[in-house]
Amino acid sequence: MTVRPQLPDRAPRANGAPTALDGLLVVDFTRVIAGPACTQTLADFGAEVIKIENPDGGDDTRSYEHADLAGESSAFLGLNRNKRGIVLDLTQPAARDVAGQLIERADVVVENFSTGVMERFGLDYASVVPRNPRLVYCSISAYGREGPFAARSGFDPITQAESGLMSLNGFPDGPPVRTGPPMVDIATGMTACNAILLALLARDRLGRGQHVEVALFDIAVAMTGFYGMTYLVNGVNQSRFGNSPSGSPTVGVYEAADGPFYIACANDRLYRRLMTDVLGRPDLASGPEFANRRARSANKEKLRAIIAAIFVGDTRDNWMAKMKAVNVPAGFLRTVEEAFNAPELRERHRLSQIPHPAAGTVPNIEPPLSMGLTPAVSPVAAPLLGQHTKAVLRKTLGYDDGRIAALADAGVFGRI
Query: What are the catalytic residues?
Result: 185
Residue (of 137, 116, 128) closest to 38 by Cα position? 137
Closest CA to 25 of 386, 411, 395, 337: 395
Q: Which residues have C-beta within 8 Å of that of residue 171, sequence separation ≥ 6?
A: 240, 241, 242
Angle between helices 183-206 and 34-44 (to 10 degrees): 50
User: Which residues are within 8 A (CB) of 82 and not within 5 positions of it... i.e. 6 or more apart?
Assistant: 40, 43, 44, 49, 377, 379, 380
Helices (H), 176-315: 183-206, 216-222, 225-234, 268-273, 283-286, 293-298, 300-311
The closest of 312, 320, 375, 323 to 349, measured between CA atoms, is 375
Q: What share of the chain is helix, strand, coil (3-state, %, to 5)?
A: 40, 15, 45
Contact of 43 with 82, CB cutoff 8 Å: yes
Spacing of C-alpha 159 from chain mean position? 16
What single-letter DSSP state applies at residue 264? E
Helix and strand totals (H; E) in the chain: 18, 13
How many whole angstroms separate alpha carbon 177 and alpha carbon 179?
6
Give yes or no for a contact between 181 and 250, defined as CB atoms under 8 angstroms apart. Answer: no
What's the one-letter identity of residue 1?
M
Q: How far apart are CA 311 and CA 324, in angstroms?
A: 15
Number of alpha carbons in the 13 Å side-chain half-sphere of residue 86: 28
Radius of gyration of the chain (CA): 26
Sorted by sequence, the CB contacts under 8 Å of residue 414 that are 6+ apart come out as 54, 55, 56, 87, 89
Distance CA 264, CA 231 (A): 24
